Chains A and B, each alone.
Chain A
């Protein structure tokens, strides 16, 4: 029986080995201290290796993983957040926020009208709060429109 702990452990072993490999190529200058910049990363990777092996050998009981529709929902949320991170600079704060907040709201409570209202309210309300009350330097609308 393969458990998530085992898979995670194997992934971490690979990452730790990659980390050690990357640490080996760190350049040291001739004026270095007795330890140098590589030893501590080696120690850290060593701890990761030991713990990952423990996880592979003695995994905890399996938990329920999201499947089917729920997995899609979570993928959608992830896509929304990544898209938001990319679009907030070119498109300004308000439009991406209305869309992203609306979609997240709909995911929690699948009624379109309240979700749309929540998105609109949050997009505009938070902009007013941050820009005018707290004085943060936010760009409200797409740069192209602002000239």
Chain B
């Protein structure tokens, strides 16, 4: 058993006291980030990359720390969904549908316990799936040449734009803007500067971390001031946390189904955790005998989307690790992390640096168990942290964003660029233009162009080469379908309305 031997090696690396400590810190910080409204896995990880990099962490510890934050944030998102009726992050949206009604009826503790276990089941199964599937996919990925990679990047942009936004033109525009920004700097092949306008700071190109922190974290500041973010107040009572085993056991099938659906949704490029939790919830609702209890505090309606979004978080790591193509905003941020650490994801990662892959998988399994402990018996700690007022929290987050970029680059120019990206993120949000494709464009632009140009070198400038292999054609077809199909499915995929707060929170 190759997999088990590899896993044992992974545990050998991950089970040192130092990495375990990092995993604990990562899980703790991650759960807080997930629980706080307005901070999700993507901006949380984005804020911490520059800081962990400036701390001089090497590849494996940094990876352990930040993937623990990633998983932790996926767990934590449910806490504010259930207690405040405000999703802590976007994938936790579906958890509000039944979680908040449950909490209002006095079952807050049950809702937190069930969703905590569901998160564990989803994340655990997905990590196991990741363990077995990713080496297989890495084998397939060896067959990919530049033409296939180019088609794969197209697929990622098309499905991300198609599924993740309301307007195809705006999603494509966002991707193109990102690609356009990535062109700034020296051209790798010829060594000639492009779009630098004689500005020395732009010779190295726009640092993707500056763009990510700006678009995700600084934009949040403007959005918050504009909407005059109200102080969140916990409107429901949380008694002693007890485990209601019978109720928990009754949701077992919902958890398993949710995990399966979420895992598949996570693997698909462009879909990610939000779609995973959405599909898991809708499946659970439509397969239930008594549909009317959904939205009114059905425990299955809490278990399914939580299992779904955590399974999707694990599944989303597969294309990111094996192909280097992230499927969602958060995995795009994790790709940024790998690139910062000088690790190039792709099939070669599995053969050349197996210790990175397997210690990552081992630490994900460890993180999961830690998170289960933190999120079920110790959940009250996080509930306390939720009561930090926004007038302390938001300036704090802003300053952390600045410190990260400042200690990474040490330049005022990059900080101003970050603020500019923040304004751009706010404006795009206003105009309903998704920002994730911009990030993906900045991250993948150079690789995409590089593959296109290499394909042309191989074919001596014959453009039909891009469609010359069955894999490439399949990817192109999937890209077109992924971009066009959601236009017709939009009516079907309508999200159910959030439960009303009716005086539950004091605004």
Contact = CB atoms under 8 A, between A and B. Distances in A.
B12 interface: no
Contacts of A31: 190
A130 interface: yes
B394 A104 contact: yes
B457 A32 contact: no
A26 B399 contact: no
Nearest to B173: A51
Interface stretch (B90-98, B216-224, B471-479): B216-224
A118 B395 contact: yes
Contact of A137 (B189, B396, B407, B430): B407
A29 B190 contact: yes
B263 interface: no
Contacts, number: 192
Contacts of A77: 221-222, 225
A74 B170 CA distance: 25
Contacts of A119: 395
Contacts of B432: 60, 63
B165 to A, nearest CB: 11
Nearest to B183: A41
A12 B55 CA distance: 39
Given A28-B190, A37-B189, A137-B407, A44 B179 contact: yes
Interface in B307-366: none
Contacts of A22: 195, 197
Interface in B111-154: none
B403 interface: yes
B47 interface: no
A138 to B, nearest CB: 7
A117 to B, nearest CB: 9
B461 A34 contact: yes
Interface in B372-427: 389-392, 394-396, 398-400, 402-403, 406-407, 412, 415-416, 418-419, 422-423
A128 to B, nearest CB: 12
Contact of A126 (B194, B197, B225, B400): B400
A134 interface: yes
Interface string B31-66: 000000000000000000001001110000000000
Contacts of B175: 47
B456 A44 contact: no
Contacts of A141: none
A29 B191 contact: yes
A130 B408 CA distance: 13
A14 interface: no
Given A28-B190, A88-B412, A138 B403 contact: yes
A98 to B, nearest CB: 10
Interface of B: 51, 54-56, 166-167, 169-170, 172-173, 175-177, 179-180, 183, 187, 189-195, 197, 218, 221-222, 224-226, 228-229, 231, 389-392, 394-396, 398-400, 402-403, 406-407, 412, 415-416, 418-419, 422-423, 430-432, 448-449, 452-454, 456-457, 460-461
Given A23-B194, A26-B192, A115-B391, 12 more contacts: A34-B456, A37-B189, A54-B169, A77-B225, A81-B221, A81-B422, A85-B415, A88-B406, A100-B399, A118-B391, A122-B392, A135-B55
11 contacts: A19-B195, A41-B194, A44-B176, A48-B176, A51-B176, A73-B225, A73-B226, A81-B221, A101-B399, A104-B225, A122-B396
